[in-house]
Chain A
Amino acid sequence: MPEFRNVVVTVNEEPREAEIEPRLLLVHFLREVCGLTGTHFGCDTTSCGCCTVLFDGVPVKSCTVLGVQADGHEIITVEGLGSPSELSPVQEGFHEEHGLQCGFCTPGMMMTATAFLDENPNPTEEEIRWALSGNNCRCTGYVNIVKAVKWAAKKMATSGVSARGAAPIR
């Protein structure tokens, strides 16, 4: 009989309780148990960063974390950024500068960028590129992504809104 564990994970500020096998990866917990398919599943080898989510505010690749490890912790996925009526500065930046492109790497890029901008709200281009170096864009279109992050930084400076839009990440 497979072993199941009961976990309670706060996902986008809402508690989610489930019985899961310890071998269930966090990315599949989010996508297939919670039904939050914004977190993409790209390379499966801890390389591409499409599955990046915030784990207690810190970006992690959710294909390389076990779902049970999130028990008692806070996860924020791309669904936790902004709202349809009010995009977060990072989401708006990706829209304004066409950082979206094909869209596959976008959730991971936005999660990494969100945590990065909350720590470094006025970054140089080099710092942005370095911060995003764990996220691969398969259109190789980093130019617009970097522009989008810069756009978000400017928006944050003028609006006083955090990168996530809502409350700052702890």
Chain B
Amino acid sequence: MAAPNRSGTLTAAKEVRLYPSRFHYEAPRTIDEACQMMAYYRDDAKVLSGGMSLIPLMKLRFASPGTIVDINNIEGLDYIEEAGGYLRIGALARNRAIVRSDLVRSRHPLMSSACPTISDPVVRNRGTLVGNCCHSDPQGDWVSVMMCLGGEIVARSVDGERVIPIEQFTTGPFSNSLQSHEIAVEARIPGSTNYGEYHKIERKVGDFATVAVGVALNIAGGSVSHCGIALTGVAPSNLKCYDAERAVMGGTLNEGTIEAAARAASAAASPRSDHRGSEEYKRTMVEVFVRRSLRAAAGIRAA
């Protein structure tokens, strides 16, 4: 072991604990440089942003990338801004910043409601929305939120830029439709919604969802002009509930449409009984949360 000293040069660490497999480390300073690296390393490389999901997987050796392209030194990727009709969230915008953002809250209250349930405050200091989407954990919350809001991922490579709707971005557990030389640089979410809530049952702070339900609405002149409903933890992957959305789209929120949406969402879910709860319980909670959200949105007092 290296001899500790007060300051100055330490000798190489030879006997320290080293958990992940060996990898080659790159720390590009610009996005163009990062794209060139990805074009070079391709499948061998993984992009490291917050690292709050990737590094644990590497420690467990579930992931052993040959090269890590750490994008944390790229300046100007941590923005949260509105431009061109979109709320744009850079790949290095931390969840900490999203929780605190007045812009996010004013444009999409669902995001501000969901963010505090994602991991814990210390993990949120580093974790990112874009990284969470790329990780595509079927239990991940941000993908559901993006589904509710019609979000898209902007992918950059040496070939240029392309925009991928979130439903086409996540392709299954821990897989996404990025090509091996592409980097997700931004999440963008169109327009604004004036109501949104994320309900999540978790056993402890920072846990995965036993059941989570995201609801986002835009109600203009009493009529629902946007409705997004998505579920986490009650299907093999994040689930957008098209039938439930259609039940309230274009009309007014009333007991009839609310009930139809709640039942449709519950029917769309395919939860499994496990140590967190029975299938019936999870299905019921989906219904309860959709009903509760829509009633609150309609200003109807819960019975």
Contacts and interface: CB of A to CB of B under 8 A. Distances in A.
A66 interface: yes
Contacts of B121: 59, 112, 130-131, 133-134
Interface string B1-16: 1111111111111011
A24 interface: yes
Contacts of B122: 49, 52, 59-61, 112, 134-135
Interface residues of A, number: 45
Contacts of A157: none
Contact of A23 (B3, B19, B52): B19
Contact of B1 (A32, A60, A71): A32
Given A28-B16, A32-B2, A65-B126, A46 B10 contact: no
Contacts, number: 133
B105 to A, nearest CB: 17
B4 A36 contact: yes
Interface residues of B, number: 46
Given A33-B10, A52-B122, A22 B23 contact: yes
A49 B119 CA distance: 12
Interface string B110-131: 0000000001111111100000
Given A32-B2, A49-B122, A134-B205, A3 B13 contact: no
Given A28-B18, A66-B68, 19 more contacts: A4-B12, A15-B7, A16-B8, A22-B68, A32-B1, A34-B4, A34-B10, A44-B59, A46-B123, A58-B96, A60-B122, A64-B52, A66-B70, A68-B27, A69-B72, A130-B121, A133-B120, A133-B206, A134-B120
8 contacts: A16-B7, A22-B68, A23-B20, A34-B4, A49-B120, A58-B125, A66-B25, A66-B48
